[in-house]
Structure formats: structure tokens, C-alpha cells
């Protein structure tokens, strides 16, 4: 009898044949280097399940990346002082990156830089979380895909009990499904802030003299990642320092978050240092994925369609060390994991029916990868 993992890989092989018949071609990848000075290129063939490196494509500090949803432009957030975001035009033929311009999020030049950037398509904005400076900036996207100076900046407040929580450190920012709020996971403040966001003017604001609404996570938890369920009423919060995943209720009318379920990303027998890192979801919202850099695993949860509540499906080794991030291919059948410490990108098959992962055994060497973006 085949094992579950072997059966999943076999099923995926059959799916590859169907995809090949449809004429699928290899796709470009851009991979950032943690605390490095380069972006690496690669090709991923979903038909043959192969990864092929193509060398360094840009000399730039890359702490996070985001692709423009419709233009051939890649945005690269810097960990350097000042928190600079660079805009690169992607050559459709060669995949080469050509610098369009840069925009700085912190005029004071605080050492440390950005932890995350994301694109809000309806407003034409890059939202940047500056971990070091404790702020979130809204950068307007120009018609050519380049960036203007910040239209709006908000500064978080608060601290936590951990030595790394001496002040606010925004780690993630996302716009809620209504488009009226920008939510910020603040690692240093142990809070999730809900700022008002005007998509017409790109202005972030507290919403009142008392400051923004916020959800207070447990002291020392270190909020890191946020993700909305398709039902629009559930927000998932991944905490780095406690390696737990919280299911929160969301009110788009008031901007209020209410506590619900909490599940651990680590196994009950794990006693080492906790460090959760990445959060993702299947396109249909049925499965939620999280990575644990402490236990070196990827964890799969099934999400209830109505309530968003989570049920553990699988906990699987990440194929390397320190799964900093991962990305799910748009076809939904593949996950690429950036294992930062082992300097590899590892390929997993995804069973769309069960959500379970299967390690294909395919990996590619990349220096300290931290973010994988399809080009």
C-alpha cells in the first residue's frame, strides 16, 4: 500500500500530465536574501516539478518583496536604514530587473528597515511596515509602476516584556475586505492596530483622538502575520514568539477584533525556542498553512467555511532549517518553502482535496532565502 505522502505525489504527477497537455510553461521566481545584498532569479516548471536557478538579478538589500498585480513591476523592501522600497521593471523576455526608482519610508534613517511590503490594488498603494522605525507608510504607485514619497505615515505605540519588544515594531500590514481599515500586526507592542484607510486619498489615520482601535495579544507573544478568511469576518493572527495561531472575529463596521480560538503551531512534545514565521491559505479558503522556524515544520489546518475555526490536519518537516516564508503556486498544487538557515528553496506538493503536503525531495540552493515571489 502506498503511504499518504507517496499517494499524494503520485496524484500530483497525474495532475502535472494534465497541466502539460494544457501547455503550461516554466514561471519565473524572484528570491530575496536575508540580510544580503541581492535578489536571485529562478525558473519553476509546474509540469516537471523542477526548480532551476538563474543567478543574481539585482544587487539590492531585500527583506521582503511584492509583485504589482497587473504591471511587470517587482517591489523590493529594504532592511537598510530608512526603510527604502525599490521598484524594478521586469523584462518579460529575459526576466531581468531594471530599477525604476526608490522611495524612503523613514526620513530619520532609523537602522534596521522594513519587515514587510504589500500592494493594495484598488488604491494603487504600496503599504510598508517599517519594523525598526515603528511606523507604517503608504506609498503611491505612479502610472509607470514607480513609487512616490509617502502620502501618509502612522506611528505605532507600545512595548512588550521580551528583550526584542522595547518599542513598537510593525511586522505586517493588510487591508481588510471592506477596504476601510489597514490592520497592523505589531511585534513589539503585542497589538494588532486597526487604522482607518481612505483608498481615495491613501491616507492612514487613527480614526479619533483616542488613537486607533487595537486588539491586545498576550504579553510577549510577538504578533507577526495577519490573514483574512474569505468570509470577511475572521482574521488569523500568527504570533512569532509564542508560535500560536489565533482566530479573531472582525467587525468591518467598528474595526473591532474579538478573541476566539487559539492553536499551537508546534507539537505538544516540542520544548525548544518558539518561532512562528509565515501564514498562508488555499485559494478556496479551506486550508490555512503556517511555518514554525523553531520546530522546522509546516503546519496544515482545515478552516471551517462559516466560522473560520481551525482543525489540525498535518505537521510536516520543512525540508531544511528555518522556514522563513513560503508561497503557494497559483494553481494550488505546489508550495515553495524558503528555508533561510539551510539556504535552500524546497518544493512540496499540495493535495487540493485534503490540504496535505508532500515533500517532493526537490530543492534548490539559494543563499539565506527569505521571500519567494512569482514574476
Q: What is the pLDDT of residue 24?
A: 52
- pLDDT averaged per 10 residues, the chain (length 375): 38 39 71 94 96 96 96 96 97 94 96 96 98 98 97 98 98 98 98 98 94 97 98 97 98 96 98 98 97 98 96 98 98 97 98 98 97 96
Q: How far apart are CA 195 and CA 101, in angstroms?
A: 28
| β-bridge partners, 276 | 292
354: left (phi over 0), alpha (psi -120 to 50) or beta: alpha
pTM of the predicted protein model: 0.93
Q: What is the pLDDT of residue 20?
A: 36
Mean confidence (pLDDT) of the chain: 93
Q: What is the pLDDT of residue 156?
A: 98
**Domains of the chain and any CATH numbers:** 34-42+58-317 (2.130.10.10)
Q: What is the pLDDT of residue 369?
A: 98
Q: How far apart are CA 80 and CA 224, in angstroms?
A: 20
Q: What is the pLDDT of residue 25?
A: 77
**CA distance to 124, 154, 287, 301, per residue, from 354 (Å):** 36, 41, 8, 10
Other beta carbons within 10 angstroms of residue 200's beta carbon come to 7
Amino acid at each position: 500500500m502506498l503511504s499518504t505522502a507517496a499517494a499524494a505525489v503520485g496524484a500530483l504527477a497525474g495532475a502535472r500530465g494534465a497541466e502539460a497537455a494544457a501547455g503550461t510553461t516554466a514561471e519565473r521566481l524572484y528570491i530575496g536574501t536575508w540580510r544580503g545584498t541581492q535578489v536571485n532569479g529562478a525558473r519553476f516548471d509546474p509540469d516537471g516539478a523542477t526548480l532551476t536557478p538563474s543567478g543574481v538579478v539585482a544587487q539590492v538589500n531585500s527583506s521582503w518583496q511584492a509583485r504589482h498585480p497587473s504591471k511587470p513591476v517587482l517591489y523590493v523592501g529594504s532592511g537598510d536604514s530608512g526603510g527604502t522600497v525599490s521598484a524594478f521593471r521586469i523584462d518579460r523576455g529575459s526576466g531581468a530587473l531594471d530599477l525604476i526608482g526608490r522611495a524612503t519610508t523613514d526620513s530619520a534613517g532609523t537602522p534596521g528597515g522594513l519587515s514587510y511590503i504589500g500592494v493594495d490594488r484598488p488604491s494603487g498603494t504600496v503599504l510598508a511596515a517599517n519594523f525598526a522605525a515603528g511606523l507604517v507608510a503608504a506609498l503611491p504607485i505612479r502610472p509607470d509602476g514607480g513609487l512616490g514619497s509617502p502620502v501618509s505615515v502612522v506611528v505605532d505605540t507600545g512595548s512588550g516584556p521580551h528583550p526584542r519588544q522595547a518599542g513598537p515594531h510593525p511586522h505586517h500590514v493588510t487591508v481588510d475586505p471592506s477596504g476601510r481599515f489597514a490592520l497592523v500586526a505589531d511585534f513589539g507592542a503585542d497589538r494588532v492596530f486597526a487604522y482607518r484607510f481612505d483608498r481615495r486619498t491613501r491616507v492612514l489615520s487613527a480614526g479619533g483622538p483616542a488613537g486607533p482601535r487595537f486588539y491586545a495579544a498576550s504579553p510577549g507573544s510577538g504578533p507577526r502575520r495577519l490573514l483574512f478568511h474569505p468570509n470577511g469576518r475572521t482574521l488569523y493572527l500568527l504570533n512569532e514568539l509564542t508560535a500560536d495561531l489565533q482566530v479573531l472575529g472582525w467587525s468591518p463596521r467598528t474595526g473591532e477584533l474579538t478573541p476566539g480560538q487559539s492553536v499551537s503551531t508546534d507539537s505538544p512534545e516540542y520544548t525548544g525556542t518558539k518561532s512562528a514565521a509565515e501564514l498562508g491559505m488555499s485559494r478556496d479558503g479551506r486550508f490555512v498553512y503556517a511555518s514554525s522556524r523553531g520546530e522546522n515544520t509546516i503546519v496544515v489546518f482545515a478552516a471551517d467555511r462559516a466560522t473560520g475555526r481551525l482543525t489540525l490536519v498535518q505537521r510536516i518537516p520543512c525540508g531544511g532549517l528555518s522556514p522563513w516564508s513560503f508561497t503557494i503556486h497559483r494553481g494550488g498544487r505546489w508550495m515553495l518553502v524558503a528555508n533561510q538557515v539551510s539556504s535552500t528553496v524546497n518544493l512540496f506538493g499540495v493535495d487540493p482535496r485534503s490540504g496535505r503536503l508532500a515533500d517532493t525531495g526537490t530543492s534548490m540552493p539559494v543563499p539565506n532565502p527569505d521571500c519567494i515571489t512569482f514574476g
